[in-house]
Amino acid sequence: MTHEFTLTHTVNRPPDDVFYAFTNSPMLAEWWCDWAFLAPHRAGTYYMYWESGFHAMGQYTAFEEPNRLAFTWSDGASPACRAEVSFSATDGGTRVEVTYADIDNEDQAEQLQTHWRDGLENLASWLEDGIDLRAARRPMLGVFIGGLAHEDEHGTPQGVNISGTLPGLSAAAAGLQAGDVLVEVDGTPLTSIEDLVGTVGSHSVGDSVSVAYMRDGTRHTAEMELKARQLADIPREADRLADQLAAVYAEVMAELDGVLAGLTDEQAATFTDVEEWNIRQILGHLVANEKDMQSLISMRAGGLVENSGYNNNSMIRIEPVLAFSPTVEALRERIAQTQAETVIAVRNLPAQFVARRGSYDRLGRDVLEEADVHYRDHIAQIERIKAAL
């Protein structure tokens, strides 16, 4: 015997907006899954992936914009079933109805209902208030992940690189910093980024976890309380967001000027034992990062799928910057110029994108956080290098 169910939810946005949220790859990943690849047309295929390891795929059997979608659904573990989503205009909003049929077993039906019930709640929050409930409710250490660290010849075990910490969360309070390597959480060795995400995600906000990390070849431990991330309010107009970003840039540039004061070009090119990069390379990286931020802004505003990562840590990106900015002063001016370009990019966000509350707010938080936390992490790096010169 097969199973079926129907769920409904009202979203206070017009049907065109809600339909788009279901059929644009990057936007679907903003509220529903973690990665989505869609060919949005009848007979087109789709693939969705969640960081938990769950995935779903299928083919559109109906694509009637902005009223109705029908598609097959397969998770690879159970026989494929049929699904349909309809979008009906209501007073000031859209009634979304999700129907599944031919589900193989009761457990799968219950899991799908729970998944969609949470998803539709998040869809409304994302479109109406700009808040991804998954992020707002997720337990966090408060670290920026800088990729996987492999075991080295000095005996540092495999783990997860930390590229920075979020102010107000436990990692920053415990003194973790960029360059540290997380190696264990609650006794679980971190051999992949999924190990970190899964171990932390198995807890709830308010739980305490034991964390082991490496710094300069020495193992450290700390007890940390998992907290929910506080999401900043984003100005509703692109001009105001651009002004706010410019103000953050002004603050961090004043701090950067302070640490660069009195630094010679020779000192900036000197390598030390405290950091892998020299100061010139850090400054070149900041330029490359601004250029990548501009690409990110353009892609998100255009509804395009982001690539797998902007490798602004690569010398392939940094050396061209250094070649045309040979002095500390030239690099400082190049940073200021690319910051100004990023502000202009934000100021020119199209009105249609700004109206998509969730996507716009997410971008706003990302650019403000990058300008604040990322710069200050590298300013601290420069201070450590200067002290070792």
The total of other beta-carbon atoms located within 10 Å of residue 162's CB is: 23
DSSP state, residue 165: E
Is the pTM value of this prediction over 0.85? no
The total of other beta-carbon atoms located within 10 Å of residue 96's CB is: 23
- pLDDT at residue 153 tops 50: no
pLDDT of residue 232: 82
pLDDT of residue 135: 85
Higher pLDDT, 214 or 154: 214
Higher pLDDT, 151 or 50: 50
Beta-carbon-side half-sphere exposure of residue 167 (alpha carbons within 13 Å): 9
Distance CA 237, CA 197 (A): 34
The total of other beta-carbon atoms located within 10 Å of residue 18's CB is: 24
**What torsion do the CA atoms of 301, 303, 304, 310 make, to the nearest 10 degrees?**
40
Mean pLDDT, the chain, integer? 92
Q: Give the bridge partners for 94, in sequence order.
A: 11, 89
Higher pLDDT, 380 or 98: 98
Our CA angle for 301, 239, 306, nearest 5°, is 20
Q: Which of 13-27, 134-148, 194-208 is modeled with the greatest confidence?
A: 13-27
27-78 pLDDT, tens digit each: 999 999 999 999 999 999 999 999 888 999 999 999 999 999 999 999 988 8
For residues 215 and 384, is the Cβ–Cβ distance under 8 A? no
DSSP state, residue 77: S
DSSP state, residue 211: E
- pLDDT at residue 276 tops 70: yes
- pLDDT at residue 373 tops 90: no
Token pair for residue 332? 């400082």
Q: Which residues of 46-85 are buried (b: 16+ CB within 10 A; e: fewer)?
A: bebbeeeeebbbbbbeebeebeebbbbbebeeeebbbbbb
302-324 pLDDT, tens digit each: 988 765 556 777 899 999 999 99
Token pair for residue 309? 């990562």
For residues 163 and 178, is the Cβ–Cβ distance under 8 A? yes
Share of the chain above pLDDT 70, in %: 97
The domains located in the chain, with CATH, are 3-134 (3.30.530.20), 139-225 (2.30.42.10), 238-388 (1.20.120.450)
pLDDT of residue 151: 74
Token pair for residue 134? 């998954």
> Residue 23 is which amino acid?
T
Query: How would residue 161 be classed by pLDDT, with cut points 50, 70 and 90?
Result: confident
3-state secondary structure of 292: helix
Residue recorded with tokens 């709640």: 121
pLDDT of residue 323: 96
**If we measure between CA atoms, which residue out of 345, 53, 356 comes closest to residue 197?**
53
For residues 331 and 279, is the Cβ–Cβ distance under 8 A? no
For residues 35 and 29, is the Cβ–Cβ distance under 8 A? yes
